[in-house]
Amino acid sequence: MDNVSELDLPEAFLDFLEANGLDPSIYVAGDCIPRYVRLKPGRAAYVEEIEAEIKCKLEKVGWLPGFYSLPPDIQIANTKAYKEGKIYGIDAASGAAVAALDISTGDHVLDLCAAPGAKLCMILDLLGDSGSVTGVDVARHRLAACRTMLQKYALGDKCRLFIADGTTFSLLPPRNHSYSKSYESAWEGKTDAFGEWTSRRPWKERKRLAKAKDGIASLPVAGSEYPELIFYGTHSGIVGLSKTELYKKMDGDEISTCGYDKILVDAECTHDGSVRHVQKFENWGWQTFQRRVLNAERTDSLTTLQLKLLRNGFQLLKIGGFLVYSTCSLTAAQNEDIVEQFLSENAFAELQEIESAKQWPCRSGGMAKTLRFDPLTSQTSGLFVAKFTKLAS
């Protein structure tokens, strides 16, 4: 604890940690947290080449397939391996949240807070050439970064991206759209069918987007009847559909049988468990930190948002499907309290044991069957994970 003073954490943050029963020493341990990378499947032959470039050994993370650890001072952003899409930068705890979904061949998966895309890419890698992935985010600029990742790693074929409010998004997966039928038959009798996606947008759309510059582009979608589709792969179930078919409303019975198999709700939070994120405020200024993390009104609005995201995600889950709720906050208010309130109002939701977690270096959360990662216990960034299933009524 004596080392905590070395970080010069503001008094208000220390009070915040004490009020939430959190140990300030995790921010000292943060300096020793390894950097993690995930190797793109099929790239194992490049490990020695990558090690030679970064001048250190990639250490396998035994409890999480495909993940490797590096010394914390190693930077990967300018490496050839990263630029060529052989490795991803993603914390092992974030990878665990995806692994908790137990993705199977053919699953239709929804990532309700998808940007900037590292977890979305992991989901797509796990699915391979099967199933589909729908990515949703409210921020245009962040989802555009997600689209760039898909293109960089050549993962977009079965994926579609929507700018939308995750608390109200209501589109179901493309289960009933045949991937095998010809484009000609798909377009028959339709005047507004989607063709193959192209980055070259129509003139009217380019004119509208030009007006969205100077910061407006990062704001939530407003005034639009439908979620805005900004990317879709050839086999994502979009090509050949009309807008009417894509945006068709479904009733509760249809959702129960045709909803998503797996849903990830990695909700917006105060990020207080992301030690490297907190340390950035030493440069950004602690006043900014006060506004983003410690402001009571913001925290209250975040917990309201988190509960709404969980509710809506669960509504889109099919019976027997799995939903993982996670945040990189260490506070109970954004984690166990959200889970407890959600369960109290939803008789068809049930917490599940995460079977693979028996080998994970994490601890139990404040509720049975929930998990917590933190720098001291896990040598990762902080993360809370809870897994739900939907029961038949």
Active site residues: 328
> CA separation (Å) from 320 to 55, 109, 120, 218?
47, 14, 22, 36
Q: Is 337 annotated as a binding residue?
A: no
Strand ranges for the chain from DSSP E: 35-39, 59-60, 67-70, 87-89, 108-111, 132-137, 159-163, 228-232, 260-266, 317-327, 349-351, 363-364, 371-373, 383-390
- Nearest CA to 328 out of 383, 366, 375 is that of 383
Rounded distance between C-alpha atoms, residue 164 and residue 25, angstroms: 38
> CA separation (Å) from 20 to 24, 94, 146, 272, 368?
11, 22, 33, 11, 19
Strands 363-364, 67-70: pairing kind: unpaired
Q: Is 266 annotated as a binding residue?
A: yes
Q: What is the DSSP-derived secondary structure letter of residue 64?
A: S
Q: Is 91 annotated as a binding residue?
A: no
Which residues line the annotated binding site for S-adenosyl-L-methionine? Answer: 137, 165, 266
Q: Provide the annotated binding site.
A: 137, 165, 266
